[in-house]
Structure 1
Amino acid sequence: MHVLLVYAHPEPRSLNGSLRNFSVGRLEGAGHVVRVSDLYAMKWKASLDAGDSTARQADARFDPSLDSRRAFESGLQSRDIALEQDKLLWADALILQFPLWWFSMPAILKGWVERVYAYGFAYGVGEHSDARWGDRYGEGTLAGKRAMLVVTAGGWESHYGPRGINGPIDDVLFPIQHGILYYPGFDVLPPFVIYRTSRIDEARFSGICDALGRRLDDLWKTPPIPFRPQNAGAYEIPALTLRPDVSPEQSGFAAHIGQEATGAPVSGLP
């Protein structure tokens, strides 16, 4: 299988750097082909701007969506964007690895999403009508591929528990897992989260690698998070709200996950 690992940490000698190296070795040792997009090493340009199109009038008004669509459809995207799109199409599975900074991904990784997820590639695809609202949330360009987050967090696991001060980790990561990965079609696996990163000694690191190794070994066996597909009948279209009879007792993020969710720990750690 082909695996794309998009990695966002500025220090290669960090915990993240060690985990990236471990993951590449484990996957390649199992016979998979791995490509790594090391965003800091690549000096990835994070800001989406008019320069992302190679042919536009200098005095033209910049419209992020329309310019993205024209550049994608006409083959006029900047080369760095097109190369990352090719990697996504090549990959059977995507791993996004990053430290949790201010309750989200580092800016450089968010910029990778904003620029690579072009109009016509990751969004704005499919029929928009009273019957369906585009190919998204379970459908789309990247449907049939798998995706997983590997996330490090400085806080304790209890800080991200059901009653923790930071909010449940599933809620913190929902915009990434549902909005960035599931939206263009990925089957999203439960994340692998490592907590309290400043308190990791050799023994704990060994245990983390054992647990991560098992998750990587099961990359094509682990059941994905059962997000509700948009066009399968659970949502009223074009309002895109859940039908009144679908989980009527629930609201918020949890309402968009089917009842087959297991409630198992999301981190994969013992």
Structure 2
Amino acid sequence: MGKRIAMIQGHPDGQTRHFCHALADEYAKGCEDGGHEVRRIEVARLEFPLLRTKEEFEHGVPSDSIKQAQDAIRWADHLVIVYPLWLGSMPALLKAFFEQVFRPGVAFEYQARGQMARKLFTGKSARIVVTMGMPALVYRWFFFAHSLKSVQRNILGFCGIGPTRTTLVGGIEGLNERQRATWLDRLRALGDAGR
């Protein structure tokens, strides 16, 4: 029996296709090959406001598109998150999406004072795919992949999601067609394996 996979396409440009979109498409094709079910979330096409207060975060009513994204994530066994590295981190729109979706009562639950929050997404795994202009080794070893670790620990891990695996596609502007095809093949194979 295949996995249930929620794919979050985090590129903020909803008008133009980018390599992030091609990577996500190949992963989804691999999922079909491997007998997995996929629900796709295109963050750039969703309508939602920025959260500005603790009150909004804890008690605000999410938009219908955010509720649908929450339902897809609850349903999934595995998440795949694809985004470009912008200014050393995820694009602001993707961060705003996570703030909307991973709310109390959905992704975690507050406990008595002094206790850790209860993780409501325990049992789910994830893969994060990040494209970037710099070489992936520079990001990982010189910059210590700080923003990626933040996503893994402070967003996904806080809600119980793990293990979280990563795929870093560096030097994106300089990739030739053969290199791009190799990356697309890798993502399709990961999708086939449900990883």
Alignment length (residue pairs): 191
Identity %: 25
CA distance in 1, matches of 2:98, 2:59: 18
**Which stretches in structure 2 are left out of the alignment for 5+ residues?**
none
Counterpart for residue 123 of structure 2: 144
Deviations 1:27-77 (A, max 9, x none): 11211111111121x24325125xxxxxxxxxxxxxx33344344xxxx54
Deviations 1:212-235 (A, max 9, x none): 233334445xxxxxxxxxxxxxxx
Q: Decide which of 44, 58, 67 is 1:69's aligned counterpart.
A: 58
Deviations 1:117-151 (A, max 9, x none): 1222223x153356x4222xxxx111101111011
Counterpart for residue 44 of structure 1: 47
Counterpart for residue 116 of structure 1: 101
CA distance in 1, matches of 2:21, 2:37: 19
Deviations 1:219-259 (A, max 9, x none): 45xxxxxxxxxxxxxxxxxxxxxxxxxxxxxxxxxxxxxxx
Change (3 A) 1:129 1:111: closer
Change (3 A) 1:189 1:217: farther
Identify, as 1 or 2, the structure richer in strand: 2
CA distance in 2, matches of 1:151, 1:207: 16
Larger Cα Rg: Structure 1 or Structure 2? 1
**Which stretches in structure 1 are left out of the alignment for 5+ residues?**
50-63, 221-270
- Contact persistence 1:147–1:188 (CA under 8 A): yes
TM-score normalised by L of structure 2: 0.87
Runs of 4+ in 1 over 4 A off after TM superposition: none
Counterpart for residue 178 of structure 1: 153
Counterpart for residue 24 of structure 2: 20
Counterpart for residue 102 of structure 1: 87
Structure with more relative contact order (C-alpha pairs < 8 Å, separation 6 or more): 2
Counterpart for residue 208 of structure 1: 183
Specify the SS of the correspondent of 1:190: strand
Counterpart for residue 133 of structure 1: 116
- Contact persistence 2:48–2:63 (CA under 8 A): no
CA distance in 2, matches of 1:109, 1:94: 14
Q: CA RMSD in A?
A: 2.1
